[in-house]
Amino acid sequence: MSFRLKLVPEKTAFDFQGKNKLAAIISLVLVIGAVALFSVKGLNLGIDFKGGILLEVRTSQASADIGALRSDLGELGLGDISIQSFGTDQDVLIRVQRQEGDEKAQLAALELVTQTLGADYEVRRTEFVGPTVGEELKQNGILAVMCALIAIMVYIWFRFEWQFSIAAIIALSHDILSTIGLFALTSFEFNLATVAAILTIAGYSINDTVVVFDRVRENMRRYKSYEQREILNISLNETLSRTLMTSVTTALALFAIIFFGGAVLRDFAIALLWGVIIGTYSSVFVAVGFLSRFDLKAAMQDPDEEEGASLDG
């Protein structure tokens, strides 16, 4: 006797389209809140974008005393200093904001930090990021996200109809903006890894959206006598099990990273987890919800059928 895990019962008949107004309100609150938080609070930019000094150190003790390190290094007057453990209990990642002045000022700050650490800590890696490089990385990160959105829009346009492309881009923009809002709200460090997380979220979300769109297009041709609202509901119900199963299995892997991956990976994994949740929501309610505003039957009508119908008339 075989056992199959089912997150949802077979042949569900949820009225997703009946929740479009509520979903629109939720999405507007998320997006407006994200933009407001970003405008007022801003992002906690990491050393990748702000510039500064990065040190990877290892203690000879059984475990590093993070509290003592924060106290000792905080008294140096070097500005913003971020200290977090990663990997083993002995490994520590130290980020020091860029100091005013030239390269000598940065080297002096590095020397001051290493002297304060003392003989108990071995410096295993050191990186310098200048303001010019940081600004270039910031521009490249924005460019990468924009290029990804444009490429996805073109792909959806060619694969489906232009209405599907517009709906997909609106859903993706919703996901990206809400993720940026999460970073503004929590003050998680926003760095190059975060940009990678945003691009991963976009890829995950569009993959789920394409599956739903495929079923919508297929059912538009299969149920020609049905109302568009009914067809969209049928399509969402038919893909619901697959959507939830994919989201749950991905979330389980991300939970493992959050709890066991250490501080370096935790923010990245939390961003991805949020992306899985918001991406699943947007595929069902935002992408298809916006798609429902178009007359898909007229847009997808076969020209031969239209000509035949006019001749019959």
Q: What is the pLDDT of residue 310?
A: 39
For residue 286, CA distances in Å to 101, 143, 278, 310 come to 49, 24, 10, 35
| Cα angle: 249, vertex 254, 260; to 5 degrees | 130
User: Over the Cα atoms of the chain, what is R_g?
Assistant: 25
Domain 52-129 has CATH 3.40.190.80: no
Please write down the HEC assignment for all residues of the chain. Answer: CCCCCCCCCCCCCCCCHHHHHHHHHHHHHHHHHHHHHHHHCCCEECHHHHCEEEEEEEECCCCCCHHHHHHHHHCCCCCCEEEEECCCCCEEEEEEECCCCCHHHHHHHHHHHHHHHCCCEEEEEEEEECHHHHHHHHHHHHHHHHHHHHHHHHHHHHHCCHHHHHHHHHHHHHHHHHHHHHHHHHCCEECHHHHHHHHHHHHHHHHHHHHHHHHHHHHHHHCCCCCHHHHHHHHHHHHHHHHHHHHHHHHHHHHHHHHHCCHHHHHHHHHHHHHHHHHHHHHHHHHHHHHCCCCHHHHCCCHHHHHHHHHHC
Residue 79: how many other CB atoms lie within 10 Å: 12
- Identity at 271, one-letter amino acid code: A
The pLDDT value recorded for residue 30 is 92
Lookup: tokens for 119: 């003989």
The pTM (predicted TM-score) of the whole model is: 0.74
Q: Nearest CA to 28 among 290, 292, 307?
A: 290
- Measure the CA dihedral 148/151/156/157, to 10°: 140
CATH entry, 17-44+134-302, from 3.40.50.1950, 1.20.1640.10, 1.10.10.10, 3.10.129.10: 1.20.1640.10
In this prediction, residue 311 carries a pLDDT of 36
pLDDT at 130: 66
In terms of Cβ atoms closer than 10 Å to its own Cβ (0-12, 13-18, 19+), residue 144 is middle
List the chain domain ranges.
Answer: 17-44+134-302, 52-129
Digits of tens for pLDDT over the chain (313 positions)? 445 556 666 677 788 888 889 989 999 999 999 999 989 888 887 777 777 788 888 887 877 778 888 888 877 777 777 777 776 777 888 888 777 767 787 788 888 888 888 778 888 888 777 666 567 777 777 788 788 888 888 888 887 788 888 888 888 889 889 998 998 888 887 877 788 888 888 888 888 888 888 888 888 888 888 888 888 888 888 888 888 888 888 889 888 888 887 666 777 888 889 988 998 898 888 888 888 888 776 666 654 554 444 334 4
